[in-house]
Structure formats: structure tokens, C-alpha cells
Amino acid sequence: MMDFHDLLGGFVRIHILHHAAEGDVYGQWMIEELARHGYRISPGTLYPMLQAMETRGYLTSRQDSDGRLGRRRKIYTATDLGRKGLATARERLRELTGEVSPKIKTPSETGDDVHGTEDDHRSA
């Protein structure tokens, strides 16, 4: 599982769509790419996600052989519907970033003397 999976799942799907719109992606590559961006996502989470995105019509897949290992693997690319969804997500993302980011960048604006943290009960 991934931390904050319920919140960040949409980001991961958009990230997948972004790369699948640029070219072929497959599960293991996507796991490494997401890890590079700070998402620790297991095959047990990613593969069902890819499968669900295909079922919903955002991705299409084909079997391809891995030349070095001689294994068959599933290659995904974005469909037209996936590209439309990505375009919409980009607009929403731009708007969300505009609203959310400034508050993250300047925490001092909200006062930095934060007391009463929730960690108290965790000290053992």
C-alpha cells in the first residue's frame, strides 16, 4: 500500500495517464518512475489500478515480450478518452496548485508558533 492512498490515488492515476499519453508504459517501469517522484507503490496496488483504468477506457493494453527475459508483459498506452481526462485533470491541477501552493510556501503567514501537536500520545 501507499501512504495516504485514498488522497493521492488520483495523482498517481494522472501521473500514469501522463506517461501513457507520451508512449508505452508497463507496470515495473511505472513503479520505478513513481518511486522517483516519492510514491512508494507496490505491484499489488499498481497493477489493479492499471487494470481498472483499462476497464474504464482510459488505457489500452497489449502483450509484449521482454527481450532480455523472454517474459510476456503488459504494455499500456492512453486512449483518446484517457487523453481527454488528462487534459481536464491538467486544468484542474493548475487551478488547485494556484490555490494550495502559496499557503504551503509561506507557512509563516499563518503563524509559526504551533503548539499542541498530536504526537504527544505517541511518546513511549
Enumerate binding residues for Zn ion (CB under 5 A): 33
Residue with smaller CB distance to Zn ion, 33 or 54: 33
Specify the DSSP element, H or E, that contains 62.
strand 59-65
Minimum distance from residue 122 beta carbon to Zn ion (Å)? 34
DSSP state for residue 104 in the 8-state scheme: H
Residue with smaller CB distance to Zn ion, 37 or 121: 37
Give the rounded distance of the alpha carbon of 115 from its chain centre.
Answer: 33
Minimum distance from residue 81 beta carbon to Zn ion (Å)? 21
Q: How far is CA 60 from CA 4, 22, 24, 54, 102, in A?
A: 27, 13, 10, 6, 37
Closest residue to bound Zn ion by CB:
33
Minimum distance from residue 107 beta carbon to Zn ion (Å)? 27
